[in-house]
Structure 1
Amino acid sequence: VDACLRALSARGLPRLERCPRVTSHIGGARAAHDKLDTFLTTKMLSRYAQSRNDPSMGLQSHLSPHIQYGQISVVEIARRALEFQKAHAMDAKISASVDVFLDELIVRRELAVNFALRNPHYDTYEGLPEWSRNTLARHASDARAWTYTLEQFERGETHDKLWNAAQRELVVSGKQHNFVRMYWGKKILEWTAVPEDAWRIAMTLNNRYSLDGRNMVSLTGVGWCFGLHDRE
């Protein structure tokens, strides 16, 4: 990694000194398989379907960065999950949890890939659904009690302690729970006067600090805060 960074710097691309090293996440194929082993347990999967949306439960697989960098494949994860489901066929909670996990791993991921493949503006504000952009435009002049700059958002200097904690988590750990990211992104939209600027800020922070940023799945996760893959 250091050699790659040196090579990029030699080509005139500045190193991002503002991004701290993430010490809580170990990369590599071995770490990816260790995380999969930890996730595919009765302790995790007996609760995943019902409680996965509660950030305090710690039920994430933490595999997304490994998938992004090719350290483990979606096919292998799905195969292992199906094997675990088959071995616990009599446990309804585990069976339901595996189904939900596979929906997120395969269906949601493929929807994100398809969106990027079929939409030439997938990584811009103009790539959002027309109805959502029209809705946001109608409310662009709404009064806002608070507004912040990119730099204030980046430093976690808002009036909202929960939002600041979510931003610090992103900077320090390189990760956010899906529901935390929804709150994080929607508040950026609420506290920015122009929706296009809110999109730019959210994408900048996600791409800069998220370990699984800069890919289709992460992009659509942020886009969901702006109406992508939502209903009119």
Structure 2
Amino acid sequence: MTATAALKAVIFDCDGILVNTEPLHYRAFQEVLVPLGLGHDFNEYMARYIGFDDRDAFIEAFGSAGLPMDEVLLGQLVKAKEQALREIVAQGLDTFPGVVELVRDLASHGVPLAVASGALRVEVRHFIESLGLRELFSVIVAADDVAKSKPDPETYLVALDQLGKELDDLSVDPGRVIAIEDTPAGIRSAKAAGLYVIAVTNSFPRERLDDADCVVDSLERLDYGRLVSMIEHER
């Protein structure tokens, strides 16, 4: 079977949607920042840094402390954080209820799937491989692929462009593509790119996600049919 004309593709955020990695990213950042005197608690991380890619998170941390940053130092920090995260993830990785089932259901109906993430490509690949889902995603757009992180729409625009090539439809209607996000920055990014956005309250309360087209508490009750209905209702 193939996807309907109404639903062209679904794009998943990675951290906070496919995998419960925000606490792991926080720990990895602290391993790098604490020795520099720039550590912060988890609440501050969630309030200020979630939604940033690694580069922008370090730029924010140094900028807020009035410390200089250059490309060489930034590259070293990103590499150190990547290594710290790899070691932490090796201890175990959690996902969210319903996400694996939803991905497999969409794939079984021929819906093209993509990941649009602020994490590094090597991290995203490791996460989805750990879930046994790598072969189901035809497109991955990560921090390595864009100049501007969310809430800028570039991540989703690049994903749409690559999906258009996959579909042999370079003018794919973004209004027929669903983005699944968990942060205000991610929602703004996807909406600015013209996508229909479903937000999940994995990381923020509902009132912080009200710019999305639909807000749910879990992906457990979503399936191919429900997503098609959402898109058709909007048209």
TM-score exceeds 0.5: no
Which structure's residues are more often helix, by fraction? Answer: 1
Give the alignment's TM-score, normalised by structure 1: 0.25
Give the alignment's TM-score, normalised by structure 2: 0.25
